[in-house]
Structure 1
Amino acid sequence: MPKQVFTVTPPGKLTRARRAELRRQVDQLRRTTDDTGASGADARFPAAAAGPLGPGVSTGEYWNWLQVAQPPHQATSHNLAGIYPFVADDGLGHEGPLLGVDLNADVLWHFSPWDLYMNTTAKAALSTNILVIGAYRSGKSGTIKQLCTRSLAFGHQVVVPSDSKGEWVVVAEAVGGQVIAIGGENTTARLNPLDRGPRLTGVSDDVDEIMVRDRRRATLTSVIEATIQGQAKLSPMEHTAINWALEHAIRVTDDRPTITHVWQALVSPDPAAPGYKPEMESNGERARHVLERFVAGDLQGLFEGESTVAFDPDAPMVVVDTSALFDRSELAAQLTQICTSAWIQAVISDRSAKRTRYLVREEGWRDMATEQALRTYQQWLKLSRHYGVSNIVILHKMSDFDAVGEEGSKERTLAYSIAGDMENKFIFRQNTQEESNLVSRLKLTPGHARLALTLQTGVFLAYVGRFSYIVDAFATSTPWERGLFKTDDAVEAGSADDHRFPQFVPEEEPVFDESMLDRLWPASPPTPFADQTGPTE
């Protein structure tokens, strides 16, 4: 092959004839190289790109007859993030209240279950319910209080059916909400779990009657089954006796039944009443003993009569304070939570109110103590979107459900299934022994399960639909919020474990007014906290 010499000339100075001559020389060189049979010819002489000046002429300032073949760069996702630091997820958008900072993308993280459910993009949530799990002092309560309090400005109402520790009382009082305290020394408030509730709109009278009847039966059955745990389940004959007593109480009270009326029907059945059978007295014996606790036992004066308080639909937050009852026994705590939840559900199950509500269920596993309660709970979760409700179920750990039923029982399996089916999950720090439960019960990846063991206070792993985020909620807290939402009064300010949640004592009693919104969401960014280790607002 004769030696050929090429002179590199800027493309702007090439004549048309010269460009045609160069193309012919390149084609001749390729044909000659291929005829030699040299191996790897295609690798050494890649096909010329067709640029503005034709094949072999690049789009740069100078012409080159050989095209550079740059191999692709390979790297792990961790190293690749350093090469391209500005490639990050765009989050969930800016609809709804600000909850924290997305630590992966270093952007503000907004959350609204209703907006996400109505979202038509790939990041839509499949339900409005939220499962929250976290160990003690992981920041779960403070984060949920932040979410609920900030949501008030968006028109959402917050309802806490059973505040077993009295943590939400101070929050409700600060925002001008309603507090219903039961069981205390200075209160005579009474709730009737068999209240009919408001008339449902958009349904026929027959459908409304069926829904009210089923709710009342489910409440009575749940109370009785929770009390006789460890004994034989209710037999069909016992169910018949309970239902008959309820129907009789409805008739004699003009549709205003109470637990006392049901108990009286079981104690002294009326032979002349419709549907009466002689065996009603013996079949209702266990139910009669259970309901006697409400009428003349340790739960007297709470749930056996007509309600003495009314639910305020216009209050920004409604809290039922049951902290005075939870020191009695675990069974009393379960019965209390069943009754208060039934009363709340009766008064908010009205779609015509056109009100979106957070229903915060502290110690959520207590609502699932029996199979009947589980079925009712599952049905309520399914209807939450219909009523504009977002159920927030708060647990310490997944193994809390081990208190529901026996190992391998239908009750426990159903409880774990309900928790696993909740699409939105906020997972705070977990103890080491919970790692396997996170993988097997919640279907977390092993990497995320290990991450949950090392999360700092106020940082949580958020699962929203098919996407996940790591969010620092305390990074956007104001001093007013930190002092209001702090629940661990036993920890002194400045301790090593509590440096992210410092003590704050307000100068005066907080009162909810227009100026409070400025304190929650100041117009200008606040000065970062001196002890804040994460990103600030």
Structure 2
Amino acid sequence: MSLFGKRRRPDPRGPGELLSQFTDLDGIPLTTPPLDQADGDDDERGRRGRRERVNRATAARQGHREPGRGWAPVDAARRAPVYRATTAEVGGLFPLLASNGVPAIGARLGYDTQSGGAFYVHPTEWVLRKMVTNPNLAIFGEPGRGKSSTVLATILRLSLFGVRTLISGDVKGEYTPLLRALDITPIALGRGSPHRLNALDLGPIRAHWPTWSPARQREELTGILARWTRLLTALAEAQGYPPTVTDELVLSTVLNRLVGAEHGSDELRPITIPQVVAQLADPDDDLWQQTRFASYRQFVDHTRKITDALSNLVVGPLAGLFDEPTNFDLDWDAPVQSMDLSLLRSRGDQAVAVALTCLGSWSSMITDLQDDGDVRLVVRDEVWRQMRLGLRAVQAVDSDLRLSRAERKIQLLVMHKPSDLLSVGAAGSQEVSIAKDLLALCSTRILLGQSTRVGDELAEELGLSDREQAVLTGWAMEGQGRALWKLENSPGMKIQTVLSATERSIFDTDSGLRESTGDQPSTGGRPRLVAVPPAPSSTGDSSVNSEPVPDPARVNGTAARW
């Protein structure tokens, strides 16, 4: 037995006692407010020497009767007691949530499910604020996870901030409903379409040529000829023939002669691929001598393979699409422009890939020379199809991504999974190495729901943490529009894209399935986006409740001429 008797164990301090010891910002203990009648018994026990209650509320049930101090006009009987403390002290009891750090500038796309705050998208502003190093985006997602809806919502909402979009090859026709809702008719290429696109089109350079100085003319022409040469060599490589350095020199010389800039002409001549093929098949004496061949026969024998490869574009599945003069004009004031290739799917993957390559080269040149100062979003859907054509096709995409900042462009690559980039060539080839590096040229990665196997691939390629990988294969698979947004090496953000009722009907990629089953009643077509709804008629006319009469067809934002 202890000499001093049994030692009594002190009672532990409860939360009320701890909270009562908080002080205000000046370090002065908070005064205890007068107790109400309900606590009279506690006062008596306190005066008799018993322990006094310390976890008393510092505010009445209706709050402090002062402006801005939480007073309510009704009795909030179930309201929790109000305590005052500094944030350093309260942080130990309730961890305050912080925002994701993305500024509230640009298009509001949805909300951050972790902080509850709104999520805004504007890639060029992110570059200016040093949040990312380039404005390019890459989006991955399984079919049905909301990939197309996320892209379409980004396109539509960024248009309100002056960002114009060019869809460089709509393989499945998914963007056509949005254009029709905006009263824009997409340019369709393929079976039954009257549109023709010259892959070697001069575009705006022909109109600007007389106004430029000789030095500017040489600079612009050098760039155009280099772009055309890369295009033709990539198309030849797609036919199974790898062009040589001599082939590139011959093509550059032929293009320079055909365009009329060889002797400092004041006007450029439009050229087409059949003209290039004709020059290669039957060169004149000046051509084979200028390219340092010993004879006419040596020139023809050396260029026979590349001539045959380019001839397939004139007589093959793509005959008539890219070998005639362009017969349409783009409306650069329209918010969105699209090249619909859905009619080409019946001609095979090779035809679609060649069309994507031609459109990529043509759209890059057209937008480069459009001196309107606008930022443009270039959507490359299923870009892996184009890169499968060979090394030069991969290099063309790589070049466009590297020049995006200088050319005021936002490149958006749309893919299903990272293995799409690995399918562009043999394992360990130069094509695969360049394709894998394309992800480093896209600072913003949008990762929608994926299976466990694909999630492992993305984690390896992008360096995702275990928690981020679990988001892809778990949370993002539980609903459409859920994505992990990663801005370079910053922690991923769980973003839920939110669509309006009108957007959901326009962006519905499953509408074809519903129409084929006949389960859904007809709604008279997709809704159209209008700036201001028309005022209701005051005449009581019965036509007020009828279906709206569509406007005349518009071709690229301008009224069609019949």
- What TM-score, normalized to structure 2? 0.71
Distance in 1, Cα, partners of 2:424 & 2:499: 36
1:267 corresponds to which letter in structure 2? A
Distance in 1, Cα, partners of 2:136 & 2:303: 37
Report if the CA contact (8 A) 1:483-1:504 is conserved: no
Q: 1:515 aligns with which of 512, 519, 532?
A: 532
SS of 2:153's partner is helix
Distance in 1, Cα, partners of 2:301 & 2:524: 63
Counterpart of 2:230? 218
Q: Does 1:95 align with 2:111?
A: no
Q: 2:445 aligns with which of 425, 429, 435?
A: 425
Counterpart of 1:16? none
SS of 1:176's partner is coil
Distance in 2, Cα, partners of 1:128 & 1:412: 23
Report if the CA contact (8 A) 2:109-2:153 is conserved: yes
Report if the CA contact (8 A) 2:107-2:120 is conserved: yes
Q: Does 1:339 align with 2:358?
A: yes
Report if the CA contact (8 A) 1:180-1:321 is conserved: yes
Deviation at 1:305, TM superposition (A): 1.6
Q: Does 1:380 align with 2:400?
A: yes
SS of 1:447's partner is helix
Counterpart of 2:345? 326
Deviation at 1:154, TM superposition (A): 1.7
Deviation at 1:136, TM superposition (A): 1.1
Distance in 1, Cα, partners of 2:341 & 2:185: 14
Distance in 2, Cα, partners of 1:152 & 1:60: 56
Aligned 1:263-342 pairs, distance under 5 A: 263-273=277-287, 275-276=290-291, 277=293, 278=295, 279-342=298-361
Distance in 2, Cα, partners of 1:447 & 1:516: 46
Counterpart of 1:479? 501
1:215 corresponds to which letter in structure 2? R
SS of 1:272's partner is helix
Deviation at 1:83, TM superposition (A): 4.8
Deviation at 1:507, TM superposition (A): 5.5
Counterpart of 1:261? 275
1:457 corresponds to which letter in structure 2? Q
Q: 1:197 aligns with which of 174, 199, 203?
A: 203
Q: Does 1:157 align with 2:192?
A: no
Distance in 1, Cα, partners of 2:30 & 2:158: 58
Distance in 2, Cα, partners of 1:349 & 1:516: 37
Q: Does 1:462 align with 2:482?
A: no
SS of 2:446's partner is strand
Distance in 1, Cα, partners of 2:91 & 2:509: 38
Aligned length: 430
Counterpart of 2:114? 104
Counterpart of 2:415? 395
Deviation at 1:275, TM superposition (A): 1.4
SS of 1:304's partner is coil
Deviation at 1:162, TM superposition (A): 0.5
Structure 2 stretches lacking a partner, 5+ long: 1-22, 32-89, 262-266, 535-562
Query: Cα deviation per residue 1:113-147 (whole Å; 9 max; x = unaligned)?
Result: 11212225xxx221111000111111111111011
SS of 2:110's partner is strand
Deviation at 1:503, TM superposition (A): 8.1
Deviation at 1:259, TM superposition (A): 0.6
Counterpart of 1:45? none
How much identity, in percent, do the aligned residues show?
Answer: 23
Report if the CA contact (8 A) 1:223-1:335 is conserved: yes
CA 1:344/1:137 → structure 2, altered by over 3 Å: closer, same or farther?
same
1:140 corresponds to which letter in structure 2? K
Deviation at 1:364, TM superposition (A): 1.5
Q: 1:488 aligns with which of 510, 515, 520?
A: 510
Counterpart of 2:140? 133
Distance in 1, Cα, partners of 2:424 & 2:533: 42
CA 1:271/1:479 → structure 2, altered by over 3 Å: closer, same or farther?
same
Distance in 1, Cα, partners of 2:274 & 2:258: 9
CA 1:104/1:434 → structure 2, altered by over 3 Å: closer, same or farther?
same
Report if the CA contact (8 A) 2:505-2:527 is conserved: no
Deviation at 1:509, TM superposition (A): 5.0
Distance in 1, Cα, partners of 2:502 & 2:522: 8
Distance in 1, Cα, partners of 2:175 & 2:502: 15
CA 1:237/1:206 → structure 2, altered by over 3 Å: closer, same or farther?
closer
Distance in 1, Cα, partners of 2:352 & 2:367: 22
Report if the CA contact (8 A) 1:248-1:265 is conserved: no
CA 1:281/1:366 → structure 2, altered by over 3 Å: closer, same or farther?
same
Deviation at 1:81, TM superposition (A): 9.8
CA 1:437/1:192 → structure 2, altered by over 3 Å: closer, same or farther?
same
Distance in 1, Cα, partners of 2:285 & 2:420: 46
Q: 1:188 aligns with which of 171, 182, 194?
A: 194
Report if the CA contact (8 A) 2:401-2:441 is conserved: no
1:261 corresponds to which letter in structure 2? Q
Distance in 2, Cα, partners of 1:223 & 1:81: 63
Q: 2:151 aligns with which of 144, 150, 164?
A: 144
Deviation at 1:280, TM superposition (A): 2.2
Deviation at 1:270, TM superposition (A): 1.5
SS of 2:378's partner is strand
Report if the CA contact (8 A) 1:142-1:485 is conserved: yes
Distance in 2, Cα, partners of 1:336 & 1:207: 28
CA 1:204/1:377 → structure 2, altered by over 3 Å: closer, same or farther?
same
1:263 corresponds to which letter in structure 2? V
Distance in 1, Cα, partners of 2:520 & 2:359: 33
Q: 1:404 aligns with which of 417, 424, 428?
A: 424
2:276 corresponds to which letter in structure 1? V
1:153 corresponds to which letter in structure 2? L
Query: Cα deviation per residue 1:342-378 (whole Å; 9 max; x = unaligned)?
Result: 1111111136311111111110222323222222222
SS of 2:432's partner is helix
Counterpart of 1:435? 455
Deviation at 1:506, TM superposition (A): 5.4
1:484 corresponds to which letter in structure 2? I
Distance in 2, Cα, partners of 1:136 & 1:504: 25
- What TM-score, normalized to structure 1? 0.74
Say what the alpha-carbon RMSD is for the aligned residues. Answer: 3.0
Counterpart of 1:451? 471
Deviation at 1:188, TM superposition (A): 1.7
Distance in 2, Cα, partners of 1:445 & 1:258: 51
2:501 corresponds to which letter in structure 1? P
CA 1:85/1:508 → structure 2, altered by over 3 Å: closer, same or farther?
farther
SS of 1:346's partner is helix
Deviation at 1:416, TM superposition (A): 0.6
SS of 2:328's partner is coil
Report if the CA contact (8 A) 1:190-1:305 is conserved: yes
CA 1:119/1:478 → structure 2, altered by over 3 Å: closer, same or farther?
same
Structure 1 stretches lacking a partner, 5+ long: 1-50, 52-57, 63-79, 496-501, 518-537
1:243 corresponds to which letter in structure 2? S
Deviation at 1:516, TM superposition (A): 7.1
Deviation at 1:388, TM superposition (A): 1.8
